[in-house]
Structure 1
Amino acid sequence: MSNQFRLPLAATPTYAREDFAVSPGNSDAVARLDAWPDWSEGRLALVGPAGSGKTHLARAWAARADAVIIDATGPAAAAPDLPALRGKAILVDDADRRGEGQALSDEALFHILNMAGVDGGTVLLTGRVAPLAWETSVADLRSRLNALSVAAIEEPDDVVLEAVLRRAFAQRLLKPDPDLYPYLVSRLPRSAAEAIAAADLLDEEAAERRRELNKALARDVLGDFEGEEEL
C-alpha cells in the first residue's frame, strides 16, 4: 500500500494569556506586563532567551492593549507609518534583531520610543538580551535604550516546559500517554523551541511507524538526548 499524505490538522497557534504557564522564572515579567498601563514613561522591554515565551506573553499583552504590532525583522514594505502610531499601544517584536530586516531603522525606533507616554501611547519591545546590549550607532537611541525598564524571562523550568509540550501536542490534536510528559521534561534541554521540535519529531515518527505516542516511542526516537538513562 502506498503512503498517504497526512492532512494538516494542527490547530492555529494561540497566544491567549490563560494558556501562558506562570512559574518562578517568569512571574516577575508577568507581573510587570500585568501592571500596564502603569509603566515608567510608558515603556518596557521584555527580554529572554529564544523559546522562553516572550512572543506568547507579548502577544497576549498586545491583544489586551489593542496594540499595533511591528515585526522589527520584516521587509521595508512593513515599515510603520510613524504619524499614525501617535497615542497608540505599540509592540515592537524582536527589536534587538532589527538589523536583520528593513522594517525598522534606528531612527524610526527612536521616534517610537519618544511617542511613549504621549497622548496615552505605550511601547513594549522584545529582545533576547537587555537593551544595554542592543547595537545602535544613533546616540539618542542609545540613551533611550539604556534608560528602558526591563522585564526578564529566564529559560523555561519544568512547569513551563511541560505546559509548552502540552500546548504543542494539543495544537497537533494529539493526546500522548500521560507518562510521556515527565519523561520528556527530565531529558529535554531547557528550551521551549527544543520542546516544540521534539513534539514535531514525535508526531512524525508516531505516524510513520504507526505507533502510540508514548514513552517507549520517545525512548526510541530521542534516546541520544543528554540525560537519557535506562528505565
Structure 2
Amino acid sequence: MSQIALPLVTARGAETVVLGPSLQPVIDALSSPNSWPFRTAILAGPPRSGKSLLARWFAESGEGDAIDGADSLPEDDLFHRWNRAQADGRPLLLVTDRAPGAWQVALPDLASRLGSALLIEIGAPDDLLIAGLIAEHASRRGLVLGEAVIAYLLPRIERSHVGIELLIETLDRLSLERKSPVTISLVRDALAERSGEFQPRLL
C-alpha cells in the first residue's frame, strides 16, 4: 500500500490520496500539462474517486487552472473559460463525473475543442489501491482492521470507490452498535447488509 500526502498539498493543508498502479497514469498525466493537446485535459471518473482533490492540487500547484464540475456549467461559460485559457497560455483541467461519451455538448465549437482534449480517466481500483482505501477509510473512523480482516475483504468487497467507503461506514456502525472490534464475523454481516441479504442475529 502506498499513500501520498505530498505534493498533494492544497490551501486546506496536506490531503492524502491512496495511490495504486491503476491511479499512477492519472498522476503522471496531471504532472505533464504542457504535453496536453491545446493545453486541455478532461479528468473523468466515478464519484468519490478523488477527482476534486486532484483538481485542487493541480490548480494550487500553479501548473494551470481547473474547473470542477465542468459538465454542469453553461456551455457558453465553459467555452469562454477555454478561450481565455488559450489566450493566457494556461493549461486547463476540466473535471466531470460523467463517463466518456456521456457528456453531450450541443455547442459545436465547444464540442470540437473538448473532443481534442486529453482524456484522463480514473478507472476501477486495483487490489493494492483497494487495500489502501480500506485502510485509509478505516483510519479516518478510528477503526482497527487486522491483516486477516483486510485479506478476507479484498476478494469480496465491491470494487468501486463508493462501495469501499460505504462498507467501511457500515463496519463502523455495526462495531459501535455491538460494542465489538471488527472481526471477520462482523465483516460477513456488513457484506451481507450491503448486498441486501443481512438478517439480524438473535442475541
TM-score higher than 0.5 here?
Answer: yes
Opposite residue 167 of structure 2, the aligned amino acid is A
**Gaps in structure 2 of 5+ consecutive residues:** 1-11, 198-203
- The sequence identity of aligned pairs, in percent, is 28
The C-alpha deviation readout for 1:64-113, integer Å capped at 9, x for no partner, is 238xxxxxxxxxxxxxxxxxxxxxx32222323x1xxxxx2110001111
Q: TM-score if structure 1 supplies the norm length?
A: 0.70
SS of equivalent to 1:180: helix
Which aligned runs of 4 or more in structure 1 are off by greater than 4 angstroms?
none
Q: Which residue of 1 aligns with 2:99?
A: 129
Q: TM-score if structure 2 supplies the norm length?
A: 0.78
Q: Which residue of 1 aligns with 2:25?
A: 28
What CA RMSD, in Å, does the superposition of the two structures yield over aligned residues? Answer: 2.5
Change (3 A) 1:57 1:31: same
Opposite residue 129 of structure 1, the aligned amino acid is A
Deviation at residue 37 of structure 1 after TM alignment: 4.3
- Aligned with 1:58 (options 40, 55, 59): 55
Q: How many residues align?
A: 184
Change (3 A) 1:63 1:174: farther
Change (3 A) 1:46 1:172: same
SS of equivalent to 1:125: strand
Q: Which residue of 1 aligns with 2:66?
A: 91
Deviation at residue 225 of structure 1 after TM alignment: 6.2
**Gaps in structure 1 of 5+ consecutive residues:** 1-12, 67-88, 99-103
SS of equivalent to 1:65: coil
The C-alpha deviation readout for 1:122-176, integer Å capped at 9, x for no partner, is 211122322x541222121111111111112211111111111111111112222
Deviation at residue 40 of structure 1 after TM alignment: 2.8
Matched-pair contact (CA < 8 Å) for 1:15–1:57: no
Distance 1:214 1:59 in 2: 37
Q: Which residue of 2 aligns with 1:193?
A: 162
What does residue range 64-213 of structure 1 map to in structure 2 within 5 Å? 64-65=61-62, 89-96=64-71, 98=72, 104-127=73-96, 128-130=98-100, 132-213=101-182
Matched-pair contact (CA < 8 Å) for 1:20–1:57: no
